[in-house]
Structure 1
Amino acid sequence: MTDLGFHVRGYGPPPREGRPATVLVHGLGLSGRYFAPLARRLAASGATVLVPDLPGNARSRAAARRAPGVGRQADALARRYRRLSSVPGPLVANSVGCQVAAALAARHPHLVSHLVLIGPALEPGVSGVRQFGRLVADAPREPLGLLSLAAFDYLVTGPLRCAASFRHALRDAAGSFEVNLARVRAPTLVVRGAGDTIASGTWTRRVAGLVPDGRAVDLPGAAHAAHYSAPDAMAALIGKFTVGEAGEAGEPG
């Protein structure tokens, strides 16, 4: 479906008023396509799942004349969700998408019932050059299918927009990200693929600790995009967490 150039993929029962939807938020320069394995598994359990291409990215590239900042993307996503449902739902994000999700949960707390952050990036105090080096180191640990999908998405979004989005994300990491995390009121699960070279264990535990009700867990056999390489395990974690069994999903942050 497309709303004013804002492309959203739907899985499971169609969204309707009064029914919560699970929203999956992609990382920098990407589309929501790499969430498809997880979205299908969540939908198989009966969930309504929405997977947007954020404004300025991939199929939503024309929704913004230039790369929007983290806060603008969060507000655009909140407006889109509000038109579909008045019931708060789970929000799941990966990588730099975690910054968008944290901003949305902080600014629009009535829309988010649970927050799941997978491999949150970027880490404050780490230079852009080091962050890029971590991304390069992670690539060989990811499935080949993901690498080809990501390369195509980066080309569609465009190198200039990717670079501009990276600058926005670095500024957000240095300023607003931790502030937003501290303002999140939804129960939060921070998941790190055990082989992730981008989001360190120390950082992901700090993210969980900044949220008033945050927990952290490592997922064996996965790297930065754990939702893609281990969708069954990720769906099981999210399922337990969102039905109130967070004590089984991770340790307190």
Structure 2
Amino acid sequence: MREAPVTPNGDRIRWVELPGAEPARVYLHGLGATSPAYFAAAATHPLLAGRRSLLLDLLGFGLSDRPADRAYTLEEHADTVAAALTAAGVEAAEVVGHSMGGAVAIVLAHRHPRLVARLVLADANLDPIAPAPARPGSSGIASWTEAEFLAGGRERVAERVGPFWWSTMRLAGPEALHRSAVHLARATVPTMRDMLLGLDLPRTFLHPLADGEPRDADGLRAAGVRVVALPDCGHNLMIDNPDGFAAAAAAALAA
């Protein structure tokens, strides 16, 4: 376990670090998740093991501190990750991001280019999402005001997401969870998609085969982003199909 202060108040990001060869590989989890739980099997898979790996929890989630006074925008998440990586002596990392973690990874590469050499995005958010009360993820959480979420919405979310997701989502600070969801649904300006298209580094977008290709996949390819379908999985690619995910990620990182 490692940690580093990332805010003026000394709030700390924590990560599980696996020793290995440089350059480092950084894993970033999705909304309501935690990287050690979601990425342990991938990081230790024979196809991906042997690299210095940081399974990092975003501020407000998992093992990291949960301050209630942060905005939890995607830009702020990227900046606090950058502070943690700088404290860890990481530069030119291979960053693997799932869902919201993929969105944060894109913003990190856009705002702190010296820290990121390659991106592997696992079904990452690229565009704004309209709030939808019946849905369990960011769009559902964002449909409540923060006051409504803190006064009972969080318990409603626990019922909707089920025991697997709730097992890690319950660790998130309530304010962090709601504000992160709101900003994820709102997206950045420019959007994460536009940032991704403008990056000058190797980029791969992994998506579940059953869901079909992401929106404007041809536009991603035209900008040099590899778009790869993974069979036998849903949104949690690395958990549903760990061997397939490790093979696809290893191929992306070797390309």
Flag whether TM exceeds 0.5 (same fold): yes
Match of 1:140 in 2: none
CA 1:175–1:87 in structure 2 vs 1: closer, same or farther (change >3 Å)?
Answer: closer
Distance 1:43 1:239 in 2: 6
- How many residues align? The count is 226
The answer on 1:220 being equivalent to 2:231 is yes
Match of 2:14 in 1: 7
CA 1:44–1:174 in structure 2 vs 1: closer, same or farther (change >3 Å)?
Answer: closer
- Contact 2:24–2:90 (CA under 8 A) maintained in structure 1: no
The alignment's TM-score, normalised by the length of structure 2, stands at 0.77
1:23, CA displacement in angstroms? 0.5
Give the alignment's Cα RMSD to 1 decimal.
2.9
- Offset from partner CA, 1:166-220 (integer Å, 9 cap, x none): 1111222574322321221111110001234xxx52327267347x321101101
- Contact 1:190–1:207 (CA under 8 A) maintained in structure 2: no
Identify, as 1 or 2, the structure richer in helix: 1
Match of 1:107 among 108, 111, 114: 111
Distance 2:40 2:138 in 1: 22
- Offset from partner CA, 1:80-104 (integer Å, 9 cap, x none): 2223335412111111111101101
- Identical columns (%): 25
Distance 1:55 1:91 in 2: 17
- Contact 1:192–1:201 (CA under 8 A) maintained in structure 2: yes
The alignment's TM-score, normalised by the length of structure 1, stands at 0.78
- Stretches of structure 1 lacking an aligned partner (at least 5 in a row): 137-145, 245-253
CA 1:155–1:87 in structure 2 vs 1: closer, same or farther (change >3 Å)?
Answer: closer
- Stretches of structure 2 lacking an aligned partner (at least 5 in a row): 6-11, 140-160
Distance 1:58 1:45 in 2: 23
The SS at the match of 1:127 is: coil
Match of 1:139 in 2: none
CA 1:149–1:42 in structure 2 vs 1: closer, same or farther (change >3 Å)?
Answer: farther
Match of 1:79 in 2: 83
Distance 1:207 1:150 in 2: 32
